[in-house]
Structure 1
Amino acid sequence: MLKTGESMLIDIDHEKCEKDLKCVDECPVKIFDYSREEKKITIAPEFETICIKCGHCVAVCPEDAISLNNFNQSSFIEKNKKNLITKENVEYILRSRRSIRAYKKKEIDKDIISSLIDISSAAPTGHNSRCVNWLVVYNKAKISKLKKMVIDWMEYLVKKDPTTAGLLGFQHIIDGFNAGYDGILRGAPHLIISHASKSAPTASIDCITAAAYMEIAAPSFGLGTCWAGFFNIAASLWPPLKKKINLPEGHKIFASLMVGEPKHDYKKIIKRETGNISWI
């Protein structure tokens, strides 16, 4: 193999390279160029400081002429057009999605949850930071403790800021909880949290996007999800709950999903209104 000699990260096999310039076009930080003098693809000298290790160059090269030494190339999957879904399939999947608020009590196998997280980790991240981390609250007793701590926060706000608590219907949720109805996590057997360092520039959108991938992927595992909004807010504002979750220093929760097997099967797709569209 003829290598660039310039990099411990990127190798180019110039015997395989057809000089189609796809890598030049596709690299988001423009590491690659074509040298008419040398008649080959070259790599920018400063590439090590600007390469975001996204793998675009490897994925787009039809001759397998490029390899990234920080990737496990044996894990790569050849794309198969037979697996591409149609517009009609995509529309059905997205329009049939429901937020699940009634779950069966059964636990979900940890391998299934791990597979769901693995697929969700394919979501894009800003500058390919891959900054998203996951926390799975699996244990039923721990789920119960976290729910009660959210209720504690709501009770505090009812006394401290009754106007805000009233607008959010906190007393109604508290009364329901005390009567045995779980308006916090809806009886979901598990909670999956995406978190990241607050210093990551795109931490919020990266974590939320990954959680959205999870929400879309979950039904293929026979699972349902719902965004745990009250928990998410409380986990950011209520010190006892923040301490209980014990994230790494400097990390913040950006998205939380209830996860479990849906108790009921929805029979119809309800068409939702399209938001206003402006063109400029």
Structure 2
Amino acid sequence: MSLATIDRQRCIHDGLCIKACPVHLFVDDPSGVPRFQNERAEACIGCGHCVAVCPADAVDHLAVPLAESPLLEPALTVSGAAATQLLKSRRSIRRFTAEPVAEEPLRRVLDTARWAPTASNRQQVHWLVIREPAAVRHLAGVTIDWLRGIANRPAYYEPFIAAWDRGEDWVLRGAPHLAVAHAPENDWGAIDCAIAVTYFELAALAEGFGTCWAGFLTRAAGSDAGVAAALALPAGHRMYGGVMFGNPEFRYRRSPQRRLAQVEWR
């Protein structure tokens, strides 16, 4: 069975599948209908460009089925101004209400995050979602233990330890929930997970809840066996990123100025 097939009745002979395939698996055929080189199928990265580009829905793919590839709705296209405002409105939220984030919007955010690009389309990002505030606080505590154990630690760490000792969590900010992005240890895991976390953040913003990168926990999980054990990730996996999240205590009405883009044009 061919990995990709073309419906000869639907094909309109525009050759877009040939042009769109990044590894050139579709070729011209004397019949006028492009041919998929199944003998080279191992080169396919499963990107789905062939399915996504065909205006006649003539291309199907075993790894990227046409039936499971939703149509993009022109009516939902976001204007440049709206997209820019969404991006500018993202804030690192460090104060949360006790009210938990509802399950349905959280599921929508996680579903959106799976569309984040990954190196060679490997799609190896996994998520651990911790819903219980007590479990989140426990992870903040083991991170503090890691900070305490660092010999000659930078002075920058001291306020975080002092805050914990007086009952304040500056590590995970008392957030009710935590999402951990992890993947098998590989050269691209950190980048893949960082992009996925960014998608999570922006989708969460659109859904109305707030996020903040869990930088200390991410660093601790990669440096301390005790912290890694507390996460209990699958064997061979590493935490490459994560966000604390919840319903923000308050909203922001302005986008504070940032440094101008540092660009060299050539």
What TM-score results when the alignment is normalised by the length of structure 1? 0.90
Which residue identity lines up with residue 256 of structure 1 in the other structure?
G
| Alignment correspondent of 2:37 | 44
Indicate the residue corresponding to 1:13 in structure 2: 7
- Runs of at least 5 residues in structure 1 that lack an aligned partner in the other structure: 1-6
Structure 2 residue corresponding to 1:155, chosen from 140, 145, 148: 148
Deviations 1:2-31 (A, max 9, x none): xxxxx4321211121111010011111111
Look up the SS of the partner of 1:262 in the other structure. coil
Q: Which amino acid aligns with 1:170?
A: Y
1:177 to 164, 173, 198: 164
Moved more, 44-53 or 240-249: 44-53
Report the equivalent of 1:130.
123
1:262 aligns to what?
Answer: 248
Query: Partner residue of 1:190?
Result: 177
User: 1:105 corresponds to which residue?
Assistant: 98
State the superposition RMSD in angstroms: 1.5
* 8 Å contact from structure 1 (residues 16, 64) kept in 2: yes
Give the one of 255, 258, 261 matched to 1:272: 258
Q: How many equivalent pairs are there?
A: 266
Task: Pick closer, same or farther for the CA change 1:114–1:80 going to 2, 3 Å.
Answer: closer
SS at 2:197's partner residue?
Answer: helix
SS in structure 1 at match of 2:78: coil
1:72 Cα offset (Å): 4.7
| SS at 1:272 equivalent | coil
Determine which of 27, 30, 45 is the counterpart of 1:33. Answer: 27
CA contact (8 A) 1:95 1:271 kept: no
More moved, 241-250 vs 127-136: 241-250
- Please say if residues 133 and 175 of structure 2, whose CA atoms lie closer than 8 Å, have aligned partners that are also in contact: no
1:194 CA drift (Å):
0.5
1:223 and 2:177 correspond: no
Task: For residues 143-200 of structure 1, give each alpha carbon's deviation from its aligned partner in whole angstroms, at most 9, with x where no partner exists.
Answer: 121111011011111xx123xx21xx2121111111122100111101101111113x
Verify: 1:58 aligned to 2:44, yes or no.
no
Shift of 1:211: 0.4
Residues 134 and 193 in structure 1, CA contact (< 8 A), matched pair in contact too: yes
**In structure 1, what is the Cα distance between the partners aligned to 2:15 and 2:211?**
43
Structure 2 regions of 5+ residues with no counterpart? none
SS at 2:149 equivalent? helix
2:67 — aligned with what? 74
2:111 corresponds to 1:118: yes
Residues 120 and 217, structure 1, Cα contact 8 Å, conserved in 2: yes
C-alpha distance after superposition, 1:84-130 (max 9, x if no partner): 11111111111111110111111222333222111111111111111
Aligned residues with identical type, % of pairs = 32
* CA deviation profile, 1:197-232 (whole Å, cap 9, x unmatched): 113x42221110010011111122110000011111
TM-score normalised according to structure 2 size: 0.95
Tell me, yes or no, if the aligned pair for 1:134 and 1:195 is still in contact at 8 Å. yes
User: Hey, what does 1:139 align to over in structure 2?
Assistant: 132
Contact 1:105 1:187 in 2 (8 A): no
Q: Which amino acid aligns with 1:98?
A: R
2:196 maps to 210
Looking at structure 2, the residues matched to 78 and 136 of structure 1 have their Cα atoms a distance apart, in angstroms, of 29
